[in-house]
């Protein structure tokens, strides 16, 4: 029983460490109109337009923002999954690796 508690405490420590890492890891995704900076924990930090909004077609700009945010979220999910896999995944909890 104490071994299981020790395993749970270790997993909790690793998960907290992973959360800190994901919170601080910034990823950048961009296209010709927009640049998005997002953390691996999926918090959008910055949205940059590469030219003046008045000179852009509104529909194209809206589409570019949506597409770029979606790619950034997918990139953050992939990065988080890779980091989780390095940690041993959630299956390692309770000795079920």
CATH, residue 63: 3.30.1310.10
Cα 83 to the center of its chain, rounded Å: 10
CA angle (78 as vertex; 32, 10 as ends), nearest 5: 145
Residue 7's pLDDT is what?
A: 87
Domain count across the chain: 1
The residues, ordered by sequence, that sit 6+ positions from 68 with a Cβ below 8 Å of its Cβ are 29, 30, 31, 34, 35, 36
Cα distances from 63 to residues 27, 55, 78, in angstroms, run 20, 15, 23
> Is the full-model pTM beyond 0.85?
no
pLDDT digits (tens, 9 = 90+) for 11-24: 889 889 999 999 99
Nearest Cα to 44, choosing from 24, 69, 66, 12? 69
In the predicted structure, residue 60 carries a pLDDT above the cut 90:
yes
Domain that holds residue 71: 2-95
């Amino acid at each position: 029983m104490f071994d299981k508690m020790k395993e749970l405490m270790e997993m909790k420590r690793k998960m907290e460490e992973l959360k800190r890492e994901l919170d601080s890891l910034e990823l950048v995704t961009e296209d010709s109109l927009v640049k998005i900076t997002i953390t691996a924990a999926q918090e959008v930090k910055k949205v940059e337009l590469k030219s003046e909004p008045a000179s852009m077609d509104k529909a194209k700009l809206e589409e570019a923002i949506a597409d770029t945010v979606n790619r950034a979220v997918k990139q953050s999910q992939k990065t988080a999954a890779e980091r989780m896999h390095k940690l041993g995944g959630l299956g390692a909890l309770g000795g079920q690796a």
